[in-house]
Structure 1
């Protein structure tokens, strides 16, 4: 029996992660074919990653055929799963997303604020085209989307594309669960966090270990400096007052919204002294690909963990394994709400724990939003809908409303300055505008 996975954005430095994840699960998820796909600009990286992936598979002894190509449509034929990890415009575009807002005194970040809006604007049309190809060429395939901003991209596809077998994944809930396990000195497999909210704006409401409620203990540890931030976010810590008042586990991205002044001060200082995170990632990418070129390398190098999305293979591969085997286990994914959060529309995409079946995720009911964060989650979901609308319409006024309604911008004149400058900077990748 054939089991084919296509990885869109196959030349990404993250690809060895997913190859490792597939190899480790081959006993239960017997993949027979992997095709790495990229675009002309990524041809060299695709070749390097393809060669490393082949060496990894050869060392494992698993009977997996691996190829790489620039022909996306040919690759998609017969696919069972399509994993997406693209960055439209590359790291150079990310650098603009960070530099331009920071130069005007606003947060510059790749998935939040003005930068996150423009990443969505560049990415939505490309992902819509990809979804159309999947629907035409492998309509039964599950699309596992790791492309950021994952929640918005997943909602855009589920609502506006013909392909409905789409699930969004993010490594933030994974990081939070594993870091929580570390501070409790227990196995991550025994930890469950009840997540409520949306991608990059999700809260942990309850922590259990083997069914025992350990929430209070974790919150106390959090006040003392628990750090579950990925490599791309410097943890500033949380005050006792914030934790005692909300009684929720914030995720690392909440710093941008609840510690905006401190984050902006830190980021502007770093920007002026050392450049943006995007520039550091470009240096890291260069060193990673230098490692990947080594014909003796047969494993994912530990240095990959310095990337902000490290460990996502455990998320993406576990999800594919569970769908394939109809495991009915619980994983945290981005999917239609379907009543899980009673305060939000059925067709809003949320990030919640779900039962993973062969027919996809079944979100677990968590009831109403905690009153303390109900308003901000309403606001963020409404903002996301504005971004999706503008990303599809290409209408200037739609884009402006998305910009001014973003909590990290919300400035009448500043919104127009940012919008105009970013539209000009990214015009090559914004055909809808």
Structure 2
């Protein structure tokens, strides 16, 4: 690896509360992914400035050789970059709150990437990511766009159809988080210590094989643990005690209930929204959803910390937390830059990877990543249960993109009605009408 070859990156979504953690993670991995320039891009200058001022101070005090720029000008942001790291949230948390609360009015799961909330978010996200792709192709046509903006499944389907030749890769950290818990369950330290096989859609998939480097089957031990505890591990419990956030622990615990329906595989935790929607609704406060929790904790904490760093003109190191989960972004960028053939879960066009599934579906599967991009690994035939669930969900995603491209009310109604989280076409229409009313500034006009 040529460690002298440095990259220039732009983080699209510079005003996100996740950006400081990503910066700390990037700085922590400079030995394998050296940087010459970091840029921030956001369409909210005031919000970005708070995050950017603190990050600029951290970068300049620790790595003054790295050039830094925060801008709302696309030409400035996207010129001379090798990678665009995108995590935008169109409509911010105000719209996420509505995505969650409107379905809850009708007794339906309110979640930012699943069900009607995810559909609403997807209708907002498509244009936002499309703009980023177009800026990149105009100003840095050889760059890669690493997209982890949600909902990744709908965004990936839209880009497949609207920008089929673009250098965009869609990735998600949820399987990484679960695999980190698997490591703790198994007593391993690094993700490279295990080799996993997985298939599905984004936020909608299953592990069917986990082995160590010697080829020993680790699934029996994992299944035994998940059957009793889900994916909940001691470090999660300790973290919840420290930060007062038990919501993820409940999600990890519920994996045991999802696992029970198919003990041959290990499920992604997001399947709880499709297989246990009644339980999820029962345990969700319709007046205080996850968006409210985040706004009252992470949003306030990160912005307060960033302001204090700037006011004191110092960074001790404990004001912000390094987002080690985001190291998969460095893994991906490093593989593309230095041709490492890293094995990673990515969202790619099926095209026969899963033999008995729609060739045009955007599926999440292991890939080997080189400078030429991802090389998906063959999965083969999948069981009827998973195939049936995936066919229903991929139809939802395709109908959403149809609705966005055609401005079709009918197609969006069909998408919401087809979601496994929604009980009837009548409820689907009620939810759609409420969502459309609050999203008119973001969605295409529907006819």
Indicate whether the TM-score tops 0.5: yes
Question: Residue deviations 1:241-280, cap 9 Å, x none?
Answer: 943743111111111111111111001xx234xx111011
The equivalent residue for 1:187 is 189
Q: CA deviation at 1:117?
A: 0.4
**Correspondence for 1:293 among 289, 292, 307:** 307
Separation of aligned partners in 2, 1:406 and 1:300: 44
Separation of aligned partners in 1, 2:317 and 2:267: 31
Matched-pair contact (CA < 8 Å) for 2:231–2:255: no
The equivalent residue for 1:177 is 179
Root mean square deviation of aligned Cα: 2.2
The equivalent residue for 2:123 is 121
Say if 1:376 and 1:25 are closer, same or farther in 2 by CA, change over 3 A.
same
The equivalent residue for 2:432 is 419
Give 3-state SS (helix, strand or coil) of 2:98's partner: helix
The equivalent residue for 1:38 is 42
Question: Residue deviations 1:287-334, cap 9 Å, x none?
Answer: 2210121225537757758xxxx6442121211111111001201111
Is residue 286 of structure 2 the alignment partner of residue 262 of structure 1?
A: no
Give 3-state SS (helix, strand or coil) of 1:321's partner: helix
Is residue 292 of structure 2 the alignment partner of residue 279 of structure 1?
A: yes
Question: Residue deviations 1:145-171, cap 9 Å, x none?
Answer: 010011220221122126521111111
5+ residue gaps in structure 1?
none
Say if 1:205 and 1:228 are closer, same or farther in 2 by CA, change over 3 A.
farther
Q: CA deviation at 1:15?
A: 0.8
Say if 1:409 and 1:241 are closer, same or farther in 2 by CA, change over 3 A.
closer
Q: CA deviation at 1:50?
A: 1.1
Separation of aligned partners in 1, 2:121 and 2:368: 30
The equivalent residue for 1:10 is 14
The equivalent residue for 1:397 is 410
Give 3-state SS (helix, strand or coil) of 2:360's partner: coil
Q: Which moved more, 1:107-116 or 1:125-134?
A: 125-134
Matched-pair contact (CA < 8 Å) for 2:102–2:110: yes
Say if 1:282 and 1:163 are closer, same or farther in 2 by CA, change over 3 A.
farther
The equivalent residue for 2:84 is 82
Q: Give me the TM-score of the superposition, normalised by structure 2.
A: 0.89
The equivalent residue for 1:362 is 375
5+ residue gaps in structure 2?
237-244
Matched-pair contact (CA < 8 Å) for 1:36–1:68: yes
Matches within 5 A, 1:14-93: 14-39=18-43, 42-61=44-63, 63-93=65-95
Matched-pair contact (CA < 8 Å) for 1:4–1:80: yes
Give 3-state SS (helix, strand or coil) of 1:213's partner: coil
Say if 1:385 and 1:290 are closer, same or farther in 2 by CA, change over 3 A.
same
Matched-pair contact (CA < 8 Å) for 2:336–2:373: yes
Q: CA deviation at 1:223?
A: 0.9
Q: CA deviation at 1:17?
A: 2.2
Separation of aligned partners in 1, 2:257 and 2:37: 51
Separation of aligned partners in 2, 1:312 and 1:241: 24
Say if 1:242 and 1:20 are closer, same or farther in 2 by CA, change over 3 A.
closer
Q: CA deviation at 1:89?
A: 0.7
**Correspondence for 1:101 among 100, 103, 107:** 103
Separation of aligned partners in 2, 1:179 and 1:428: 40
Q: Give me the TM-score of the superposition, normalised by structure 1.
A: 0.92
**Correspondence for 2:398 among 382, 385, 409:** 385
Separation of aligned partners in 1, 2:350 and 2:133: 21
The equivalent residue for 2:166 is 164
Give 3-state SS (helix, strand or coil) of 1:159's partner: helix
Give 3-state SS (helix, strand or coil) of 2:419's partner: coil
Question: Residue deviations 1:349-394, cap 9 Å, x none?
Answer: 1111100100111111111113331111111112111111112222
Give 3-state SS (helix, strand or coil) of 1:224's partner: helix
The equivalent residue for 2:241 is none
